[in-house]
Structure 1
Amino acid sequence: MKDSGFPRADAESDFLRARRQASLSALARRLRGDEDAGETLSFAEVVEALGRRAARHRGIQEIPLDAIVGSVDKARDFDRRFRPTSNRSRERWERLALKARTGTSFPPIDVYQLGNLYFVRDGHHRVSVARALGGATIEADVTEVETVISTEGIGGRRDLGDKNWGLRFLQRVPLTGRRRAEIVCTDATDYHRLAEMVEAWACRLMHREGAYFDKPTMARRWFDEEYTQVLELIEEAGVRGRDETGADAYIRVSHERYRLIREHEWNREVMKLVAEQGRPRRR
């Protein structure tokens, strides 16, 4: 933080510098065709994509400024690094910067925590000023929101669509615990295909057994009686691709099996036939 000895002039310079950095960063992203990477995330959009499970108040904590990536209601007023995107709030911003430079302490900001990410409910300008002045942490009143899908891997809004495919899969196939953790599709749109496959498997099973079972039972039985056993056959036959997840291999091999024999049964002879058609393409 540069200090000329004239706090008001320094506060004005702080704002101009933050605006200039925001503008240059936005221009660079446009030239790279990666404008999404600098956008402040909307709390509502992220929760909708991930699914809300529960919330609990965690109280006052020191949180890293770098982990604050979004806003409840002012996503367009600041970029991802909370630099102002316009001159609209310049007077208020400079007033806070002046107070910060003259030693005024501020009340904690109010945030939602989703995984390792934070979204501002109140205190956007305090976050912006703190970052501009080189701060590393800020005091915050934290409410933690637990989501169905984790925030891991969210780098921008474009990642929310992929996350939402996973959420919709779990709504249709409500796996839990280790079963849920093991189902990972490299291509997020494959979650839709996999859900249809699970539901079709369950329909055949209910018809065969002459009984109805609910979604949690369907999910558990599919994983234990179908998915796990098929993966064992895939591994035994050596037809799993080097970069494939278990779910990737299950989807691909199941499709190939049905294309070849128009049947839904699994055994070593079927897997041998699939293997004879060639190894999976390397991704």
Structure 2
Amino acid sequence: MSEQMTSAQTEDDFTKARHKALFNEVQHFLNPDEATLISFSDIKKLIRPKNEVYMGMQTVPVNLIVGSEGRYQDFDNRFFPKSMHLKSRWEHIDMAHLQDISLPSISLYELGGVYFVRDGNHRVSVARSRGVEFIDAEVVSLQSEIKLHPGDSLQKMTKQVIEYEKRVFYGETGFGDVTDFWCLDFSVPGQYDVIYNHILTHKYYINMNKTEEIGMDKAMMSWFTSVYTPVIKTIENHKIMRSFRNRTKSDLYVWMIKYWDEIKLKFGEDYPIEDMANSFMNKFAARSSFRSFFWRLRNEIEGRLLRKKQHLRDK
């Protein structure tokens, strides 16, 4: 193939890849996160891996590369280029493929069974566009018990992490067996550690004037009945969840306890829970209702589009 023909081919390849990125963006315009390449920094903060292990050179399935350390804004979730400024470098890599020129290995992080690019984003993009199944990479593995799934958005991965945290919390504390309550659920990660600290703090205070220390199980049950449950009942009585439709009651418990502690610093330890709930509603509910309106509007638009698509399919 002549140099002129090769150049024309690489330009055509890039144009096709760009069109795929644009089409992917249009398909997900109501849920743009699902078309976004995952930031390694975001997932690292989410999972909090234990340590790094150098794994050396490996042959990695390209479809398991789901994110990037530094170029996650330049490519979509399938590594198609999102910007024209990538054109020159992208076509240079593509030309090397066409001319069967060996390129340096890429560098990857492995976390939860999937991979994130340290160096070589353009090479991964060209490989994906050309249907290459495997690529040589220098791999550093970040150790974690959480397993991630290729193709999942950051939102879905966040849900996986929360589910993992719940399993660990219930398994290590025996919370469900002690309280017979299995619905301690959250919409954001890291909250089970907060709950555990609440229980430990409660245990400390109820043991302050005891000659014989109350054990963890009794302290846990005491926290559940005398701290958690009254706040949840207050949430229900004030119908606070109506203003926080995408959250859980346990989310609200954590936020309200924190808010209550702040109020107590100003007005004293005897500040009533009912007054706290009213103050919380006045301060935060209006903002949340505004966000909920747009959430419901988005769901309505998405539903109409799906119904229209189904109608056209049935014709």
Q: What TM-score range do you get, normalising by the shorter chain? A: 0.5 to 0.7
Q: Residue in 1 aligned with 2:42?
A: 45
Out of 90, 97, 117, the residue aligned to residue 114 of structure 2 is 117
Deviation at 1:204, TM superposition (A): 4.3
Confirm or deny: 8 A CA contact 1:47 1:147 kept in the other structure.
no
Q: Residue in 1 aligned with 2:97?
A: 100
> Counterparts of 1:121-270 in structure 2 under 5 Å?
121-147=118-144, 149-151=146-148, 155-159=152-156, 161-162=158-159, 179=172, 187-189=185-187, 192=191, 196=195, 199-200=198-199, 203-204=202-203, 207=207, 210-211=212-213
Mapped partners of 1:180, 1:9: distance in 2? 63
Q: Residue in 2 aligned with 1:274?
A: none
Confirm or deny: 8 A CA contact 1:54 1:146 kept in the other structure.
yes
Structure 2: which 5+ residue stretches go unaligned?
Answer: 177-181, 222-249, 251-315
Q: Relative to 1, partners in 2 of residues 1:154 and 1:125: Cα closer, same or farther, differing over 3 Å?
A: closer
TM-score, structure 2 normalization = 0.56
Q: Does 1:91 align with 2:91?
A: no
Structure 1: which 5+ residue stretches go unaligned?
Answer: 227-250, 252-283
Q: Which is further off, 50-59 or 145-154?
A: 145-154
Structure ranking higher on relative contact order (CA contacts 8 Å, 6+ apart): 1
Confirm or deny: 8 A CA contact 1:60 1:141 kept in the other structure.
yes
Give per-residue Cα distances to partners, 1:36-65, cap 9 Å, x unaligned. Answer: 111000001101011121110111111111
Confirm or deny: 8 A CA contact 2:146 2:164 kept in the other structure.
yes
Which structure carries more helix by proportion? 2
Identity between Structure 1 and Structure 2 (%): 26
Deviation at 1:199, TM superposition (A): 3.9
Confirm or deny: 8 A CA contact 1:50 1:150 kept in the other structure.
no
Mapped partners of 1:182, 1:12: distance in 2? 60
Q: Secondary structure at the match of 2:143?
A: strand
TM-score, structure 1 normalization = 0.62
Q: Secondary structure at the match of 2:26?
A: helix
Q: Secondary structure at the match of 2:51?
A: strand
Q: Relative to 1, partners in 2 of residues 1:88 and 1:194: Cα closer, same or farther, differing over 3 Å?
A: closer
Give per-residue Cα distances to partners, 1:113-141, cap 9 Å, x unaligned. Answer: 00121000000011011111110111010
Q: Residue in 1 aligned with 2:28?
A: 29
Confirm or deny: 8 A CA contact 2:61 2:134 kept in the other structure.
yes
Cα RMSD (Å) of the superposition?
3.9
Q: Residue in 2 aligned with 1:14?
A: 13
Q: Residue in 2 aligned with 1:233?
A: none
Q: Relative to 1, partners in 2 of residues 1:60 and 1:201: Cα closer, same or farther, differing over 3 Å?
A: closer
Mapped partners of 1:131, 1:60: distance in 2? 20
Deviation at 1:175, TM superposition (A): 5.4
Q: Relative to 1, partners in 2 of residues 1:199 and 1:113: Cα closer, same or farther, differing over 3 Å?
A: same
